[in-house]
Amino acid sequence: MTSARAVILETTVGFLRKVFGLMVSDLERCLKMEPGPNFVVALILSEYTEIMGGFVTGELCDHRKSGANYRKFLQCMGCYYEQLDAQLDLYVTLRCGLAHEYFAKGPSTIVWKRSHPSEKGVYRSGNRIVFNCEVYYQDWKNAVEKYMQDLETDQDLQKNLVKAVSALMTRSSSRPLYRISLKS
């Protein structure tokens, strides 16, 4: 790897680490609330799944790839989520339902905390879809941490990350990329 490419990659990974740190900080503050903001956390986790998938694929800024980005990160979260998505189309059912209609599409429940040790982040209970904020967050966070480790050696992931961040920084838009403040 050339030194210029190494610097670009190091800067880009540093940016991603800062973004991930902000995501985790916000979510952990929410998860400490009792009672917690169930809907808000479920929506944010659904959006963050799509965003992280955009870093993985390199297609973060292509709105036509939103579903593919979401599904890509579900793959990173493990075969359980990938198989559940094949059955329920989690992008449409959860992410789009929460983002565009305030409700998941179909009967659903959003719960705050794990009620038993083997509980999953998303599962079926009868005809209802249950989204468990605490469990999904842990699964999502573990997948991001694994992705960050894989970035160290996987050149395709590195290339896609640089592509995604470059597109984010250079996108033509009427809105500037807002500065992220670490202050509350």
Query: Is residue 181 situated within a structural domain?
Result: no
Write out pLDDT tens, residues 105-155: 999 999 988 888 888 999 999 999 999 999 999 999 999 999 999 999 999
For the chain, how many structural domains are there in total?
A: 1
- Asked whether the CA dihedral 11, 14, 18, 20 is positive or negative, the reply is positive
Angle at 97 between CA 67 and CA 174, to 5 degrees: 65
Find the domain containing 76 and state its range: 3-170
- pLDDT above 60: residue 184: no
Weakest mean pLDDT among 28-32, 77-81, 87-91, 96-100: 28-32
**Which one has a higher pLDDT value, 2 or 159?**
159
Helix (H) / strand (E) containing 129: strand 128-132
Residues 6+ apart with CB under 8 A from 45: 27, 133, 136, 137, 140
Rounded-to-integer distance, Cα 55 and Cα 77, Å: 14
Query: Is residue 12 situated within a structural domain?
Result: yes
- Per-residue pLDDT, 8: 83
Query: Is residue 114 situated within a structural domain?
Result: yes
Query: Is residue 176 situated within a structural domain?
Result: no
Query: Is residue 179 situated within a structural domain?
Result: no
Query: Is residue 82 situated within a structural domain?
Result: yes
- Per-residue pLDDT, 174: 47
Query: Is residue 144 situated within a structural domain?
Result: yes
- Per-residue pLDDT, 31: 84
